[in-house]
Structure 1
Amino acid sequence: MLDALGISAEQEELYQALLRHPERTAAELAEASGLPASAVRRTLQELQGRGLVIRTPTRPARFRPEPPDLAISVLANSLHQRIDQAKLAAAELTALWQQGRIEHEPPVQIVQGAEANIRYFQQVQRSTTSEVLTFDVPPYVLAGVSAQAEVQLELMGKGVTYRTVYDRTALAGTEELELARTLNRHGEKARVVDGLPLKLLIADRATALVPFVLADERQTLVLKASPLLDGLLALFESQWERGTPLWGSGQAADEISEEDVQLLGFAAAGHTDEIIARRLGVNRRTVERRMRRLMDRLGARTRFQAGIQAARLGLLG
C-alpha cells in the first residue's frame, strides 16, 4: 500500500507488525517475523529514517510506530517536495536543451506526414506564450481541424492571442463559418481576404510553419529566426491590413445592431443572400433591404467597401 511513497514491502511488513504489537525489541520482531536479526535491524533503521518508527532510549531498545495518519502525511509532503525539485531541475535542463537546439538546429527544417504535421502544429502552439498568427486556407487534414480548434480554445483561455486571416474559400461552408464564429466568441481576432497565397502559422514571431505539400503525405516547412521568417511576418501584416474584419466586437451596440454585425460578417465571408437568409432565419428580400441600408449608411457601393468603412469607423472592432 505504501510503495507509492517509496516504502518497500519488507519495510511495510515490519511497520504493520509494530502497529499490531508496539514496543517490541529487534530480537522479538525477528523471532515473530522469522527474518534474520540483521535484516530486521537494518529495516528498523530505514523506518526510523523515514519517520515511521521511534527508537526508545531503554535497554534493550524498543521500537514504537508513529501514528499512520501523521507518518504518511509527512511522507506525502516529502514526496511533493521532491516532485517540485524535479520540476525545477526539468526546467533548467529544458533551458539547456533549448539553448543547444537554437545554436545547432538549422533555420529551415521539413516535417513530413499528416500525423506528424498535426502533432508538430499542436506542439509549436502549446509552446507559445504570447501570439499566434495564421493564414487559414483550404484544403485541410480533416483529423486536424477539430484538434486545432481544441488547442486554440485552450491557449486563448490561457491568454494567448490569435490573429487569423481567412481566405474567403475557407468560410464557404456553414460549418466552417460557425467554427470561426465560435473561435471569435472566445477571443480570436479574424479578418478575411480574397486569394491568400499560402497556409501559414507563426508562433511568438519566432517559428513559422508553412505547409507546401497538401496531399495525404503532407510536408511543412519550419522556419526559425531568419530573413525568410521576417518576410513571412511582413506578409502577414500586409494581408492583415488589407483584410476585412469578419465579426464584430460587440462594442458598437448603440451604433449598429448585432444582427447587422452578423450580416456584415456573413457578407464579408462571401456568402450569397440565400445562404445569409437561411442563417439569419429571414427571407432574401429582408437581407437585400438590410444590406442596402447598411451600404447607404456607410457610403459604400459594394459589400466589400461596406466592410472596410465599418472597420474604419470602429463598428466591427
Structure 2
Amino acid sequence: MLSAAGLGAEEEAAYRLLIRTTEAEPDALADQLGVPAEVARQALGSLLAKGLARTVPGDPGRFTAVAPDVALAARLHRRQAEIDRARHAMEQLTGEYLAHARRREAAQLIEVITSRTALREQLRLLQDGARHEVLSLCRAGHVAMTSQENTEELAALRRGVGFRVIYEETLLEEPGMLVNLADGITLGEQARALPALPVRMIIADGELGVLPLIQHTDGLTQLTAALIRPSSLLDALKALFESLWERATPVSLTNPGSPLDADHLYLLSLLLAGVPDKSIATQLKISHRTVQRRIAYLMERAGAQTRMQLAWHAARENWL
C-alpha cells in the first residue's frame, strides 16, 4: 500500500512493525517478520536513510519509527510533484506525436469508396459498430440502399443506439417511407424534415462519417463517396448537421405535452413537413376522405381557418 511512497514490501512490513512496537532491534524485528536477520537489517537501514526511522538516543542498536504524517507526507508530496511533471511531459509528447502522425497519415483521414457494394457494406458496418448516436441526412433518391433495406438502423435502435435523422421532404413521398419512418420513431429514432438538404451523409459516434461526393449518379457516372475519420472536415459536417437540425420540423408519434393521439400527431407532423395529402393517404393505406377528416379535426381543435394558422398554433402550443 505504501509503494507510492517508494517503500518495498520488506520496508513497509518493517515500518508497520516499528509503529506497533515503538522500538525494536534488528534481530527481534527479524523474528517477528519471519525473515533472515540480514533482510531485517537492510530494511531498517533503508528506513533510516529515507527518514522513516531513527535510532533510539543512547542506544544505536535499537530503532523507532518516525511519525507517518511527518515522514510520509513529504515523500508523497515529492512523488506527486514528479508525477505532475511526468504528466506534463507526456501531454507535450502526445501533442508532438499526434502532430507528426497527422502529417504522416494524412491520407488515412479520408478514404475514397468507388462502388455501391463497398458503400453499402460500409454503411452497414458503421451502424452495426455504433455505440452511442448516429446522425444522418437522408436525401431523396437512394445511392446505396433504400430506407426499407436499411435494417441495420432498426437493429441498432433496439440495442439502445440513438438516431437523429433529417429527411428531405420529397423522400417522405416515396412509397413505403412513412410506414418505415413510423417504425423507426416507435423504436426511438428522433426524426425531422426539411424542404431540401445540401448533402446526404451519416456519422457514427462523432468519430466516423460517410459522405457521397457525387449527389446524383446515372449509369455513366461512377459512384464516389468519402469515409471520413476524426478531422476538421468531420467537425464541420457535425456542425452542419446541428445547424440543419435546429431548423428542421419534428416528425413525431408521441409528445408528452401534446393533447393529440399518435395518429393525429403523426399526420400533423407530416403535414408540417410538406408531405401531400394524397401521398399520406396512399402510404398509410387510408382513404383521402379520412385524411381530410383528420385535418378538419386538427383545424377545429386549433381554431384555425387555414393550414398556416394550424402550423402556427401547433408550434405555439408545443403539439409536436
TM over 0.5: yes
Which of residues 286, 292, 299 is equivalent to 2:299?
Answer: 292
Question: Take 2:122 and 2:315, find their aligned partners in 1: how far apart are those partners?
Answer: 36
2:158 corresponds to 1:157: yes
The DSSP-based 3-state class of the residue aligned with 2:108 is coil
Q: CA RMSD in A?
A: 3.0
Aligned residue type for 1:128: A
What's 1:219 paired with? Answer: 224
Question: Take 1:276 and 1:174, find their aligned partners in 2: how far apart are those partners?
Answer: 10
Equivalent pair of 1:167/1:195 in contact (CA under 8 Å): yes
What's 2:201 paired with? Answer: 200
Question: Take 2:140 and 2:279, find their aligned partners in 1: how far apart are those partners?
Answer: 20
**Post-superposition shift, 1:187?**
1.3
The runs of 5 or more residues in structure 1 that have no matched partner are 1-98
**Post-superposition shift, 1:288?**
4.3
Aligned residue type for 2:253: G
The DSSP-based 3-state class of the residue aligned with 2:130 is coil
Aligned residue type for 1:221: A
Aligned residue type for 1:292: M
What's 2:263 paired with? Answer: 259
Equivalent pair of 2:148/2:180 in contact (CA under 8 Å): no
What's 2:172 paired with? Answer: 171
The DSSP-based 3-state class of the residue aligned with 1:301 is helix
Equivalent pair of 2:120/2:144 in contact (CA under 8 Å): no
Question: Take 2:189 and 2:211, find their aligned partners in 1: how far apart are those partners?
Answer: 21
The DSSP-based 3-state class of the residue aligned with 1:196 is coil
Larger radius of gyration: 2
Equivalent pair of 2:139/2:171 in contact (CA under 8 Å): yes
Which of residues 235, 242, 245 is equivalent to 2:247?
Answer: 242
Question: Take 1:142 and 1:123, find their aligned partners in 2: how far apart are those partners?
Answer: 13
The DSSP-based 3-state class of the residue aligned with 1:225 is coil
Aligned residue type for 1:238: S
Question: Take 1:184 and 1:108, find their aligned partners in 2: how far apart are those partners?
Answer: 32
- TM-score where L is the length of structure 2: 0.58
Aligned residue type for 2:176: E
**Post-superposition shift, 1:238?**
1.0
Question: Take 1:134 and 1:153, find their aligned partners in 2: how far apart are those partners?
Answer: 14
Equivalent pair of 1:166/1:193 in contact (CA under 8 Å): yes
* Identity within the alignment, %: 22
CA deviations on 1:19-67 (whole Å, 9 max, x unpaired) are xxxxxxxxxxxxxxxxxxxxxxxxxxxxxxxxxxxxxxxxxxxxxxxxx
1:144/1:287 Cα in 2 relative to 1: closer, same or farther (>3 Å)? closer
The runs of 5 or more residues in structure 2 that have no matched partner are 1-97
Which of residues 121, 124, 146 is equivalent to 2:123?
Answer: 121
Equivalent pair of 1:223/1:229 in contact (CA under 8 Å): yes
- TM-score where L is the length of structure 1: 0.59
**Post-superposition shift, 1:174?**
4.1
The DSSP-based 3-state class of the residue aligned with 1:233 is helix
**Post-superposition shift, 1:266?**
2.4
Question: Take 1:161 and 1:199, find their aligned partners in 2: how far apart are those partners?
Answer: 19
Aligned residue type for 1:153: L
2:272 corresponds to 1:268: yes
Aligned residue type for 2:265: V
Question: Take 1:261 and 1:289, find their aligned partners in 2: how far apart are those partners?
Answer: 13
Q: Which runs of 4+ in 1 moved over 6 A?
A: 297-300
What's 1:109 paired with? Answer: 111
Equivalent pair of 1:246/1:269 in contact (CA under 8 Å): yes
Q: How does 1:88-103 map to 2 (within 5 A)?
A: none
How many residue pairs end up in the alignment? 212
